[in-house]
Amino acid sequence: MDAIVQSVLAFVLAATGLPAPDAPPRIELVPHEFFVQTVCRGDAHCDAQGWSSGEDTAREFPGLEPGVIYLDERNDFERDAHARGLLAHELTHYVQRTSGAFGPSLVADCVVRIRSEAQAVLVQARYLATQGIPFEAPAAMRMYRCRE
């Protein structure tokens, strides 16, 4: 998995132009139920398969540690380009945090949240394009709006 992370991280850095982190993230492969109970707060219809945790999200979601990327263990990162696309998405958030490109928190401000997520979705789409796979932004991404 280390070689895959290094390869995808190199792609993310080239795609975003953000500086390399001092250290790679810790990757935790977890059961899907972990996402149901933490980031989806018990919602059995949880679609989450990955989460890059920072100080900001660790405070909001008990059970998460800062600097860790949690990935659904059902993904096959060696054989499945979609799984590596998910990794590219989460690594983008990790690099956003370590570089401070979006400020101290990716979730405290609605506009920052949308911009950081849009960049991660774009990097994911670009990664999948290099694998010959078309990618459409999740429907939820098109519905994000900030209240004024």
Q: Does residue 89 form part of some domain?
A: yes
Q: Report pLDDT for 74.
A: 96
pLDDT bucket at 141, cuts 50 / 70 / 90: low
Flag whether pLDDT at 59 surpasses 60.
yes
Q: Does residue 148 form part of some domain?
A: no
Structurally, the chain folds into a number of domains equal to 1
Structural element, H or E, at residue 50: strand 50-53
Mean pLDDT of 8-36: 95
Contact call for residues 66 and 55 (beta carbons, < 8 A): yes
Q: Does residue 108 form part of some domain?
A: yes
Q: Does residue 101 form part of some domain?
A: yes
Mean pLDDT of 64-79: 95
Flag whether pLDDT at 108 surpasses 90.
no
Domain CATH number, residue 24? 3.40.390
- Residue 8: give the domain boundaries: 2-143
Q: Which residue has the higher pLDDT, 14 or 41?
A: 14
pTM: 0.91
* Proportion of the chain above pLDDT 70, given as a percent: 93
Task: Give the strand order in the sheet containing 68-72.
Answer: 26-30, 68-72, 50-53
Residue 13 tokens, joined = 């850095």
As a whole number, the mean pLDDT across the chain is 90
